[in-house]
Amino acid sequence: MHGGNVEAAMRLFPQAPQPWLDLSTGINPRAYPYADAGLDKAALTRLPAAEAIAALEAAAARFYGVPDATCVVAAPGSQALIQWLPRLVPAARVGILGFTYAEHARSWRACGAHVTSVDRLEELARMDVGVIVNPNNPDGRFVEPKDLRALAETMAAQRRLLVVDEAFVDFLGAGASLAPILPAEGAVVLRSFGKAFGLPGLRLGFAVAPPAYAISLRAALGPWAVGGSAIAIGLEAFGDPLWFSRIREELVADAHILEKMLAAVGFACVGATPLYRLVAHPEAAGIFDRLGRAGILVRPFAHRPDWLRFAMPGSEAACERLQHALAR
C-alpha cells in the first residue's frame, strides 16, 4: 500500500470512525495558506503563458538557490519526472542506493533497464544511471551534497547520470541540497513542491538539471506542463520565506512530541526526516490494525513487518487522537 491511500484503508477497516487521520505520507501537515482571492479567474480559463511558467521556474530557482533559472524545469509533480527520465535517458544498467521509494525502480524497469539495489554510494559509479533518494524514504539516510557532486562529476566523465531525488530535503536547512552546487554535467535533482508546502493535490514539482537535460525534459513535458493555479500558488508560496522558516520550527517541535509519544509505547526509532519518523516494534502489525480500526492510517512495510512510518500529526487535536489510539 502506498502512503496516502486512504480509500484502500477504508476498505480494509470499514467500521473505522470518520474522518481518517492520514499519517502514512511524508507530506507537510501544515499546508501553505494561499490566498483564494489571489487566484485570478484567468488562471483557469486560459492556457498558461510561457512567461508565467518561466516566472515560476525563476521563483523556484531563487528558493532552491540555483544560480541559473533555465536549469529549473516545472512539472506536474516530481512523480511525473520520475516516470519521464527513463524515457529520455537510455540506460541498460541502473543502480539504486538501498531500500527506497519503489517508483524509481518500477519506472526504469518499465523502460527495459536492469535495476540493481546497491549498498554503497561508490557502486553507483559503475552504472549507466545511479539513483539516490536524499534524504532517503523511509529511513532518512543522508549523503552530503559534496559527496554527491564528486560522484556526479565522476559519472559525467563516463557519460553517465546521477539522479538525486530530494523530495524530503526542504526542511533540513541550508547546505543540504545538491541543487545550488549542481555540476555542469552528470546530475539531475528532483524537488517536490507538494510535500514541502503541504499541497500534494496541486501536482507541482521541479527538476534541476544541466542544460541538455533541461531542454529534453521541457520538450517531453510539453508547453503547458503545469496549470494556472499551480503557477499562481507556487509563485505566492515561493515568495513567502518567513512562513517557511516558521513552519520548519513548528515541525521540529512536532517531531519531539511524536518521538516521545512513540517511545512511551515501546517503539524504537529506526530513521527520521523532519516530515516523518520510521520506528520498529515487535507488535507493529497489530498496532497498525489497532490504529486502522481507530481511523488512523500509518505506513507499513511488507518486507519489514516490524516497521511503521508515522508522519507528523500537525495539530494538537491530531496528536491527542493518536495518543489515545496508541494507549488503548
Quick check: is 21 in a domain?
A: yes
Quick check: is 109 in a domain?
A: yes
The CATH number linked to 259 is 3.90.1150.10
Please tell me whether residues 191 and 231 are part of one structural domain: yes
Residue 305: is the preceding peptide bond cis (ω within 30°)?
no
DSSP characters for 214-253?
HHHHHHHH-TT-S-HHHHHHHHHHHT-HHHHHHHHHHHHH
Of 239, 260, 280, at which residue does a domain stop? 239
Q: In this predicted model, what pLDDT tens digit does every residue of 233-276 receive, in sequence order? A: 999 999 999 999 999 999 999 999 999 999 999 999 999 999 99
* The predicted structure's pLDDT at residue 71: 98
Q: In this predicted model, what pLDDT tens digit does every residue of 89-111 receive, in sequence order? A: 999 999 999 999 999 999 999 99
* The predicted structure's pLDDT at residue 320: 96
Please tell me whether residues 211 and 266 are part of one structural domain: no
Please give the DSSP secondary-structure letter assigned to residue 48: P
Rounded CA-CA distance 275/194 in Å is 13
Please tell me whether residues 141 and 284 are part of one structural domain: no
Rounded CA-CA distance 189/191 in Å is 7
Quick check: is 48 in a domain?
A: yes
Please tell me whether residues 208 and 123 are part of one structural domain: yes
Please tell me whether residues 72 and 220 are part of one structural domain: yes
Rounded CA-CA distance 272/136 in Å is 9
Please tell me whether residues 52 and 191 are part of one structural domain: yes
Please tell me whether residues 74 and 183 are part of one structural domain: yes
> What are the E-state strand segments in 114-169?
114-118, 129-133, 161-165
> Quick one: which of 226, 192, 185, 153 has its CA closest to 89?
185
Q: How many helices (H) and strands (E) does the chain have?
A: 12, 13
For residue 309, what are the domain limits? 6-31+242-327
Quick check: is 163 in a domain?
A: yes
- Total number of domains in the chain: 2
Please tell me whether residues 128 and 271 are part of one structural domain: no
H-helix or E-strand spanning residue 188: strand 187-192
Residue 38, pLDDT > 60, answer no
Q: In this predicted model, what pLDDT tens digit does every residue of 211-237 receive, in sequence order? A: 999 999 999 999 999 999 999 999 999
Please tell me whether residues 71 and 201 are part of one structural domain: yes
Quick check: is 252 in a domain?
A: yes
Please tell me whether residues 161 and 106 are part of one structural domain: yes
If you average pLDDT over residues 179-203, what whole number do you get? Answer: 97
Quick check: is 278 in a domain?
A: yes
Quick check: is 101 in a domain?
A: yes
The CATH number linked to 176 is 3.40.640.10
Please tell me whether residues 177 and 116 are part of one structural domain: yes
Give, in order, the Cα–Cα distances in Å from 233 to each of 35, 140, 277, 317: 8, 28, 29, 27
pTM above 0.75, yes or no: yes
Of 193, 208, 239, at which residue does a domain stop? 239
Of 239, 274, 308, at which residue does a domain stop? 239
Contact 27, 311 (CB under 8 A): yes
Quick check: is 1 in a domain?
A: no
Contact 87, 110 (CB under 8 A): no
Please tell me whether residues 50 and 187 are part of one structural domain: yes
Rounded CA-CA distance 53/63 in Å is 15
> Quick one: which of 23, 120, 105 has its CA closest to 314?
23
Burial 101-117 (b: 16+ CB within 10 A, else e): beebbebbeeeebebee
* The predicted structure's pLDDT at residue 1: 47
Phi first, then psi: what are they for 41, rounded to 5°? -55, -30
